[in-house]
Amino acid sequence: MESKVANLSIVSNKSLEAAKAANLQHYDISSALQTSLDFKEIIAIFCEKIQPMITHSGFIYTNPLFDLEYKKGIEARHACLYSLTIEDQALGELKLTRQQRFNENELQLLETLLCCLVYPLKNATLYQQAINMAHTDPLTKIQNRTAFNDSILREYNLAKRNRQHLSLIFIDIDYFKSINDQYGHECGDFALSSVAKWIKASIRDCDMIFRYGGEEFVVLLSDTPLDKATLIAERIRQTIEKNTLAYAMQTLQLTASLGVSTLLGNDTVQNLINRADNAMYQAKQQGRNRVQISE
């Protein structure tokens, strides 16, 4: 007959109380972390909750997948660094620093607390990936109209609050229908993704480019006055004009018409958009391959 051996350990009331307290802390952290799907919020909650348990002076979280960096406090001599992953999904790196060494108990505690962090981070990753997909144009890989609607509203509110400039460039490829008609739709698609790349190469890292629709693009320039926006538009126009598209055995040239507007005192978001769009149509009427500034 098989004998069953139960593993029993004798614990004092004191250690039971400690275990209970630790469970409550874990429960409290887990519940708090589940209140958000935003990386920065999740990390800020974790940072705040662990501070009383594992004293540290510097807290750094980085996630290269989403170009994220969260820094709090000041970096110090001793550090513990964790690369967070779950089911082959990279979730970023977390580093705690302070002047004194972290002891074994603290590291053990931190490791159990990190278990509360990984699933919320995984959920944030899935959520962010879904948002990115919904905001990306599959052909050109730049942001789409939905992303533009969100971004312009955010930048408009920021510009109003901080009394900053905000400018917009509408770009429409000239006679694009004839590219499809002459060389086929596939060549048209290739031209669209090439133009997106050329525009991206002509703007600064802080400027935002979107595919507004069909063969129309829009560039959103925060903290940029009209004269600077006009120079950028002219640079985009020249880049498109001077590049040659090589498709199969053919080479073809493209041009675009551009309209520029800047935020005025009592503008709504729609006014700002309409003025750039109207200016672009004026550029078409005046012969295409030119930049028109809105009135």
Give me the residues that bind ligand GH3 (CB under 6 A), please. 139, 172-177, 180, 185, 188-189, 192, 214-215, 284, 288
Q: Does the footprint of Mg ion cover residue 217 (CB under 5 A)?
A: no
Stretch that binds Mg ion, among 166-174, 191-199, 234-242, 271-279 (CB under 5 A): 166-174
Between 173 and 236, CB nearer to Mg ion: 173
Q: Does the footprint of Mg ion cover residue 176 (CB under 5 A)?
A: yes
We find the least distance from the C-beta atom of residue 137 to ligand GH3, in angstroms, to be 9
Distance CA 107, CA 56 (A): 12
We find the least distance from the C-beta atom of residue 237 to ligand GH3, in angstroms, to be 14
Between 29 and 173, CB nearer to ligand GH3: 173
Identified binder of Mg ion from the candidate list 155, 172, 207, 277, rule CB under 5 A: 172
| 215 is annotated as an active-site residue | yes
Q: Which of 215, 234, 241, 295 is catalytic?
A: 215
We find the least distance from the C-beta atom of residue 174 to ligand GH3, in angstroms, to be 4
We find the least distance from the C-beta atom of residue 282 to ligand GH3, in angstroms, to be 12
Please, are residues 91 and 118 in contact by the beta-carbon 8 Å criterion?
Answer: yes
Non-local CB neighbours of 86 within 8 Å, separated by 6+ positions:
118, 119, 121, 122
List own/partner pairs for 275-282 with CB under 8 A and 24 or more apart.
276/168, 276/169, 276/170, 276/218, 277/170, 279/170, 280/170, 280/171, 280/172
We find the least distance from the C-beta atom of residue 91 to ligand GH3, in angstroms, to be 35
Stretch that binds Mg ion, among 93-101, 172-180, 184-192, 197-205 (CB under 5 A): 172-180
Stretch that binds Mg ion, among 50-58, 78-86, 167-175, 204-212 (CB under 5 A): 167-175
Distance CA 144, CA 138 (A): 9
Q: Are strands 291-293 and 256-262 parallel, antiparallel or unpaired?
A: parallel
Non-local CB neighbours of 123 within 8 Å, separated by 6+ positions:
37
Structure tokens at 197: 């790349």
Place of tokens 């009383």: 52
Distance CA 290, CA 9 (A): 82
Between 64 and 214, CB nearer to ligand GH3: 214
DSSP secondary structure letters along 205-251 = TTSEEEEEETTEEEEEEET--HHHHHHHHHHHHHHHHH-EEEETTEE
Catalytic positions, please?
A: 215
Which residues of the chain form contacts with Mg ion (CB under 5 A)? Answer: 172-173, 176, 215-216
